[in-house]
């Protein structure tokens, strides 16, 4: 998964360019910065690499989602459909613009189930936000058809799937807008950062202003800018953008290592017929940052997780069903709408109602799922050893239950 594993002289060199001038901010200081514009360069590289018309860097993936939602006009009264399995940032961003996160079941793609999405649509639905979890994609054809039919916005949370593609197009470029995160553990990192990508000029122009206090950025003098709307400070710094600039140039290298390591480990796990794998709508487009696999029941899955823990091989394997950050089951703060600032009573009630629905369809999938993150540092010998240890655990647990192995 993470580009931080291959930190190098290339990242140091880009950061040093900025340290030499001392101009750490992305706007202004045209003279003293001596032609060093890392944020602008990174935005151009993002457009080029992923095939989007516009890119607006932000301070994080979370702020990229908030920015995209504001730019898309999502706010008071609106419902945004988003999955029960995601990172907390997805619903945080919805709440940040005053809209209601409508959590919907995932299927064996580990992303939004289009049928469940259809059932969740109401006259207040404004947007569908699939989250392309763990390196791979949602059923975008299915979701796009629903958006078209009901005239809804499609916003892709592609924070975990940088470099993944669907039918030849980069994830994040297919909806009205998409967001990546460049936090420390994502496929490429800025240390902290994110981006909104879009092919719509109107959306981009709003993102550009929103992330910088509403500045219109039309003149050369920052102090004389007008403010057509209220914004915030979600700017990235030049130091962070410099790290990202080095990393994006290495993205293909990261992805090809990921794919090679993923294929080797998957072939080992596939030796056990009781192990099945996540359904991937376009297998060619998987970024391969994780292998997500299923066992036949929750009981067997829990036993495998426990045995991997006993043997010290659990790190890097995620049982999301019990995870505090990624799955509805442990989001007590959302279920109680525990915000520090008071929400309107109407919003609070709707948030709680949505978060406390029946998610048994998601539980049936997630309780049997383990995701193994793919390291860029593994040698082929290490993958073989790791895979065999995992096989050993799985076979032991199955044999104990009388399943022939």
Q: Cβ-closest residue to ligand PLP?
A: 61
Q: Are strands 276-277 and 290-294 parallel, antiparallel or unpaired?
A: antiparallel
Please state, in angstroms and rounded to a whole number, the distance separating the CA atoms of residues 117 and 399. 39
The residues binding ligand PLP (CB under 6 A) are 60-62, 86-87, 89-90, 131, 157, 159-160, 181, 183, 194
186 in active site: yes
In three-state secondary structure terms, 197 is: strand
Q: Give the shortest CB-321-to-ligand PLP separation in angstroms.
A: 17
Could you give the dihedral angle defined by the CA atoms of residues 79, 211, 213 and 351, in that order, rounded to the nearest 10 degrees?
Answer: 20
Residue 252, H or E segment: helix 251-269
**Full strand arrangement of the beta sheet holding 194-198:** 54-58, 194-198, 177-181, 153-157, 125-128, 79-83, 100-104
- Among the listed residues 38, 186, 330, 389, the single catalytic one is 186
105 or 183: CB nearest ligand PLP:
183
Question: Is 61 or 178 the residue whose CB approaches ligand PLP more closely?
Answer: 61
3-state SS of 83-106? ECECCCHHHHHHHHCCCEEEEECE
Write down the least CB distance from residue 157 to ligand PLP, Å.
Answer: 5
End-to-end CA distance of the chain: 31
Cα–Cα distances (Å) from 132 to 158, 289, 357, in that order, read 5, 12, 22
CB of 122 to ligand PLP, least distance (A): 24
Min dist CB 202 to ligand PLP, Å, is 24
Residues with a known catalytic role = 186
């Amino acid at each position: 998964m993470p580009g931080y594993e291959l930190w190098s002289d290339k990242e140091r060199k880009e950061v040093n360019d900025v340290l030499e001038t001392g101009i750490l901010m992305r706007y202004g200081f045209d003279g003293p910065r001596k032609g060093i514009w890392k944020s602008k360069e990174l935005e151009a590289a993002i457009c080029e690499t992923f095939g989007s018309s516009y890119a607006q860097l932000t301070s994080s993936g979370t702020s990229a989602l908030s920015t995209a939602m504001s730019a898309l006009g999502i706010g008071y009264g609106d419902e945004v459909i988003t999955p029960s399995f995601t990172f907390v940032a997805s619903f945080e961003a919805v709440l940040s613009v005053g809209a209601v996160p409508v959590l919907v079941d995932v299927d064996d793609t580990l992303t939004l189930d289009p049928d469940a999405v259809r059932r969740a649509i109401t006259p207040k639905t404004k947007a569908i936000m699939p989250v392309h979890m763990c390196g791979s994609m949602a059923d975008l054809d299915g979701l796009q058809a629903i958006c078209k039919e009901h005239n809804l916005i499609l916003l892709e949370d592609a924070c975990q799937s940088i470099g993944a593609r669907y039918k030849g197009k980069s994830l994040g470029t297919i909806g009205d807008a998409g967001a990546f995160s460049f936090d420390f553990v994502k496929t490429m990192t800025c240390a902290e950062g994110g981006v909104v990508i879009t092919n719509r000029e109107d959306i981009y122009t709003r993102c550009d202003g929103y992330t910088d206090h509403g500045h219109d950025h039309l003149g050369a003098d920052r102090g004389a800018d007008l403010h057509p709307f209220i914004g915030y400070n979600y700017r990235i710094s030049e130091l962070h953008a410099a790290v990202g600039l080095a990393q994006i140039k290495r993205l293909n290298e990261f992805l090809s290592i990921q794919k090679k390591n993923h294929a080797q480990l998957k072939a080992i796990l596939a030796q056990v017929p009781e192990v099945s794998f996540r359904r991937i709508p376009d297998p060619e487009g998987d970024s391969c940052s994780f292998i997500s696999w299923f066992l036949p029941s929750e009981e067997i899955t829990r036993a495998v997780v426990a045995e991997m823990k006993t043997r010290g091989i659990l790190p890097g394997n995620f049982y999301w069903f019990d995870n505090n950050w990624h799955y509805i089951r442990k989001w007590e703060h959302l279920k109680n709408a525990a915000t520090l600032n008071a929400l309107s009573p109407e919003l609070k009630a709707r948030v709680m109602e949505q978060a406390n629905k029946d998610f048994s369809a998601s539980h049936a999938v997630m309780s049997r799922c383990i995701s193994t993150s793919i390291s860029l540092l593994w040698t082929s010998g290490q993958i073989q050893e790791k895979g065999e240890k995992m096989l050993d655990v799985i076979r032991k647990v199955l044999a104990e239950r009388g399943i022939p192995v």
